[in-house]
Chain A
Amino acid sequence: MIIIRPEEQVGTIGRRILALVHGAGYNMLLLFRTVSYIGGIFLKSREVLRQMYITGVLSLPLTLLVALFTGMVLALQTGMELLRWGIEAEIGTIVTASMSREMGPIWTGIVLAARVGSGMAAELGTMKVSEEIDALEVMSIDPARYLVLPRLVALVLVAPILTVYSDLIGVIGGAIVGQYQIGVSYDLYFQKGMDALRVVDIYSGLVKSMVFATTIAIVGCGQGLRTTGGAEGVGNATRNTVVISLILIIVFNYFITSLTRWIT
């Protein structure tokens, strides 16, 4: 039988905390270093476009599918409840407000973390393991400028666009359910929806999506650049990216919403 001594447990907890703090610090420094190169972004426009295609265009179908069903289930769930009170027409208000304020940005963030963040970690992690990152450093090329900057910029540009599509498709999904399952006409649904829509909600959604994009790109690239030890290391980096990104997205989302309420 293995007996774990208390001091070993304390040591393990300590090491975990140190690793956490170290990771957070590394990511902050990586973000600052990457942003410091922003002046040279126009020289990288071709690479930014390539990344926008990979992160944006290729993520669009999945984002739309997720948004469609999110809007549909929102309408169904709230619609069934509101039917009992005879105020089912309000689903237009509820779905539009929920999609633009919370669901659109969050689900887009989750899709991007799972699809793009993990991809960045896997790609940069493989490059690290195959010495490509070392080769860049030896050639005096900072990976933050050459690899992280175009990925960060591309994702920050693409995420708000995806979020707008996501909001729109979610609302349309809700309308379909409203029409055929709840019995709220398109006209009434969209009229309620337009009344509920506030410019500040759209802006806060877009700000959220940019914060999420920055988080995903830096966590993904940071995990990739710190990969150690072969294929297993790449797997760890990929998994950690998704887990850390999801946690941060949920937490940041709450604080940005609070901040928005406080400002308005």
Chain B
Amino acid sequence: MDNVIEFINVRKRLGPRQVLDGMDLRIRRGETMVIIGRSGIGKSVTLKHIVGLMRPDSGEVIVDGIDVGAANHATLLRLRSKMGVLFQSGALIHWLTVADNVALPLRELGGYTEKQIEAIVLEKLDLVDMRASAQLTPDKISGGMQKRAALARAIVRDPEIILYDEPTAGLDPVLANITTELITGIQKRLGVTSLVVTHDMQSAYVMADRIAMLHAGRVIQVGTPQEIRHSTDVAVRQFIEGRTVGLLTDDMEAAWRK
């Protein structure tokens, strides 16, 4: 099967911590892969490797056939134009309105008339149900609305790959479900490859075609939501049941102590 994103034996050290320690993962074209794992285990670091904001110490990160770690600036720019990223905090530019934020990639990279930009922006805002707030600045809207606006910005260039960093973190359960539905809806409509990083198991089960559990710098299990739900791996079991005592907590503490 056609793999869009491949991690091959990736290692990355940040300060004293070995964050990724021989990570292997393959993400197929058109699927929604959800990476789960405890906070601080390197899920966001994984995303940063895919967009080239970080480069691996060793190993390879291959996106659409290109080795991101070895790519030059121009290649990286071309690769990034195929990707949309939803950051954890939304990361909207704080002095621009919602509409201007969504329009930003189109305006800055050129090639569109103002009329075209307006049409595209309204179309994307409709997708996330944010047309009514188009003229507000980020500080005037709620956290959930910021995430939706950021999602509209992430898909404004019709990316082939969308990366989500903790899309439901900090949202109340109802909003979290709405966001989950939004992501699955966009996935169905656009037919993109999605990679979601989360520790929200409920939304993971709903969104995922496959789930990968990250622990101690490696992927310890990959499987369908059904397989993960019935996993016999002790670490996976501890995570999905949220138990406080077990392998996960011991290893985490050991890693931080090192």
Chain A residues within CB distance 8 Å of chain B: 127, 130-132, 134-141, 146
Given the interface contacts A132-B94, A134-B53, A146-B108, does A140 sit within 8 Å of B81 by beta carbon? yes
Chain B residues within CB distance 8 Å of chain A: 48, 51, 53, 77, 80-81, 83, 85, 87-89, 91-94, 104-105, 108-109, 150, 153
Which 9 pairs from chain A and chain B are nearest by CB?
A135-B91, A131-B91, A131-B87, A139-B105, A140-B77, A141-B108, A138-B85, A132-B91, A140-B80
User: Contact at B87–A134, with CB atoms within 8 Å?
Assistant: yes
- How many angstroms between the C-alpha atoms of A136 and B107 in the bound complex? 13
User: Contact at A131–B88, with CB atoms within 8 Å?
Assistant: yes
- How many angstroms between the C-alpha atoms of A141 and B88 in the bound complex? 19
Which A residues are in CB contact (< 8 Å) with B81?
A: 140
State the Cβ distance, B129 to closest chain A Cβ, in Å: 21
Given the interface contacts A134-B53, A135-B85, does A141 sit within 8 Å of B104 by beta carbon? yes
State the Cβ distance, A34 to closest chain B Cβ, in Å: 15
User: Contact at B93–A132, with CB atoms within 8 Å?
Assistant: yes
Q: Which of A130, A136, A146 contacts B89 (CB 8 A)?
A: A130
- Interchain pairs with CB closer than 8 A, number: 47
Closest to B105 in A: A139
- How many angstroms between the C-alpha atoms of A117 and B10 in the bound complex? 40
A-B contacts besides A132-B94, A138-B85, 4 pairs, CB < 8 Å? A127-B93, A130-B89, A131-B88, A135-B85
Chain A contact residues, majority secondary structure = helix
User: Contact at A127–B94, with CB atoms within 8 Å?
Assistant: yes
User: Contact at A138–B89, with CB atoms within 8 Å?
Assistant: no
Which A residues are in CB contact (< 8 Å) with B108?
A: 139, 141, 146
User: Contact at A139–B104, with CB atoms within 8 Å?
Assistant: yes
- How many angstroms between the C-alpha atoms of A131 and B88 in the bound complex? 8
Closest to A126 in B: B94
Which A residues are in CB contact (< 8 Å) with B85?
A: 135, 138
Closest to A141 in B: B108
Q: Which of B77, B89, B153 contacts A131 (CB 8 A)?
A: B89
User: Contact at A141–B109, with CB atoms within 8 Å?
Assistant: yes
State the Cβ distance, B61 to closest chain A Cβ, in Å: 15
- How many angstroms between the C-alpha atoms of A127 and B94 in the bound complex? 8
- How many angstroms between the C-alpha atoms of A78 and B109 in the bound complex? 58
User: Contact at B104–A132, with CB atoms within 8 Å?
Assistant: no
- How many angstroms between the C-alpha atoms of A165 and B131 in the bound complex? 47
Closest to B156 in A: A139
Which A residues are in CB contact (< 8 Å) with B104?
A: 139, 141
Which A residues are in CB contact (< 8 Å) with B53?
A: 134, 137-138
11 contacts between A and B (CB under 8 A): A127-B94, A130-B89, A131-B91, A132-B94, A134-B53, A135-B87, A135-B91, A138-B53, A139-B104, A140-B80, A141-B104
- How many angstroms between the C-alpha atoms of A131 and B47 in the bound complex? 13
Which B residues are in CB contact (< 8 Å) with A135?
A: 85, 87, 91-93, 150
State the Cβ distance, B139 to closest chain A Cβ, in Å: 12
Closest to B78 in A: A140
Which B residues are in CB contact (< 8 Å) with A127?
A: 93-94
Looking at A132, A136, A139, A140, the one whose CB has the most chain B CB atoms below 10 A away is A139
Which B residues are in CB contact (< 8 Å) with A138?
A: 51, 53, 80, 83, 85
Which A residues are in CB contact (< 8 Å) with B83?
A: 138
Which B residues are in CB contact (< 8 Å) with A134?
A: 48, 53, 87, 91
Closest to A147 in B: B93
User: Contact at B105–A132, with CB atoms within 8 Å?
Assistant: no
- How many angstroms between the C-alpha atoms of A137 and B79 in the bound complex? 12
